[in-house]
Amino acid sequence: MRSRIRLAGAGVLALALVGAFAAPAAAVGRDGSHGHDFDRRPGGRVVFVQTDNTAGNAVVAYDRANDGTLTPAGTYATGGNGGQLTGSAVDHLASQGSLQYDADHGLLFAVNAGSNTISVFSVRGDRLDLREQLWSGGDFPVSIAVHDGLVYVLNARDGGSVQGYVELFDRLIPIPGSRRALGLDASATPEFVNTPGQVAFTPDGRQLIVTTKANGNDIDVFRVGFFGLLSQTPTVNAEPGTVPFAITFDAAQNLVIAEAGTNSLATFAVHHDGTVTPIATAATGQAATCWVAGFAGQFYVSNAGSGTLSRVVSGSGGALTLLDQTATDGGTVDAAISAAGHTLYVQTGATGTVDEFRINGDGSLTAIGSVLVPNAVGGEGIVAV
């Protein structure tokens, strides 16, 4: 209930001040030709993949067959360009959450890191309609968080920043005064391990979390207040040497983080004051453990340097147990699980493909195929709906 009150306040504020922010959004272009009579239902059998192509970013739609295999259904330009962090090879954004779907509003959000913009699509089955493209509030957007109509975008360069928006009438309205600088070292190299990794809301929407990777080895936690505004500064939780990267949560709402520095999956309790307490860690024994997707107590961790997925199961109190490894094509990066939990799709940045896996009853994986994503070598961003 409190999150809805905060969102309502943000909506009122955004409507009252939208005129002050309309010009920057319009300057990068909007497509307002579509009405509001489309079917918001996603169809339940679609996978969307972002190419992050530096010559023109796009989202590729795939229909899912009953056996989980994918068939191309269309390619949709975002209107912006992808980007590539210096030093990156298979993970040009070096982030998780660069493509996000809001089922409540039938909207898909994509980052255009090379253009400093985000694109908003309405979803009609396997079709996308570009609603608008607007400024990300900073330099090189890499990750998006969505909760109850509130959206925050993480910008990676210039020390990192987050910018807030509220969803109104199938548009994103910037929330005045919502930008928060992370204050990271902008000169730290190599760039792809020293830019922030992900922004994510806690399940109750009361806190916003940012991982800083090697640039501090911190888990930053902002408090989300009225009007969707964040606390002026985050609570900074130092995790030396761990390189905290990708974020998800377990069934008990414990924070789950893929740690690239230790090649591990770790769980934390998140407290109301923004501090976190370590619970458990499971080493993968693999290289470049950076991304994680979870469902029903099973977590699938992408190891870009090994070309594998590690399966880790969570137990009582946040305990973690490594179960097995599954081979993928080269450069295992971002992954998504179908809504029913029957299939796992993982981007492989070295080849620009999506590998398809059936999730068996015990949580183990069976490879069922692979599809090439045009112009997507090094690309990141995938959702399954």
The lowest-confidence range among 2-11, 131-140, 291-300 is 2-11
Confidence band of 44 (pLDDT split at 50, 70, 90) = low
Signed CA dihedral, 300, 161, 117, 9: sign only: positive
Which of 20, 64, 114, 39 is closest to 336 using CA atoms?
Answer: 64
pLDDT of 19 higher than 90: no
Q: What is the mean pLDDT of the chain?
A: 91
pLDDT of 146 higher than 60: yes
pLDDT of 322 higher than 80: yes
pLDDT of 3 higher than 70: no
Q: Residue 337 contacts by C-beta under 8 Å, 6 or more apart in sequence?
A: 293, 294, 295, 300, 343, 344, 345, 359, 384
pLDDT in tens, 121-137: 999 999 999 999 999 99
* Across 230-253, average pLDDT: 97
pLDDT of 333 higher than 70: yes
Confidence band of 101 (pLDDT split at 50, 70, 90) = very high
Confidence band of 79 (pLDDT split at 50, 70, 90) = very high
* Across 245-272, average pLDDT: 97
Domains of the chain: 2-384 (2.130.10.10)
According to DSSP, the β-strands at 255-259 and 244-249 are antiparallel
pLDDT of 71 higher than 70: yes
| Contact status, residue 76 vs residue 46, Cβ threshold 8 Å | no
| Contact status, residue 160 vs residue 220, Cβ threshold 8 Å | no
* Across 225-234, average pLDDT: 97
* Across 330-357, average pLDDT: 97
Confidence band of 25 (pLDDT split at 50, 70, 90) = very low
Query: How far is CA 76 from each of CA 2, 50, 57, 351, 375, rounded to the nearest angstrom?
Result: 36, 10, 9, 21, 13
* Across 251-271, average pLDDT: 97
Residue type at 66? N
pLDDT of 12 higher than 60: no
Confidence band of 29 (pLDDT split at 50, 70, 90) = very low
Confidence band of 39 (pLDDT split at 50, 70, 90) = very low
Query: How far is CA 66 from each of CA 22, 45, 338, 343, 358, rounded to the nearest angstrom?
Result: 44, 9, 12, 10, 11
* Across 381-385, average pLDDT: 97
**High-pLDDT (> 70) share of the chain, %:** 89
Q: Is 292 helix (H, G, I), strand (E, B) or coil?
A: strand
* Across 252-278, average pLDDT: 98
The lowest-confidence range among 34-43, 76-85, 261-270 is 34-43
Which of 198, 340, 312, 303 is closest to 250 using CA atoms?
Answer: 312
Confidence band of 316 (pLDDT split at 50, 70, 90) = confident
pLDDT of 353 higher than 70: yes
| Contact status, residue 325 vs residue 371, Cβ threshold 8 Å | no
Q: Is 277 helix (H, G, I), strand (E, B) or coil?
A: strand
pLDDT of 22 higher than 50: no
Residue 101 CA to residue 331 CA, distance in Å, equals 24
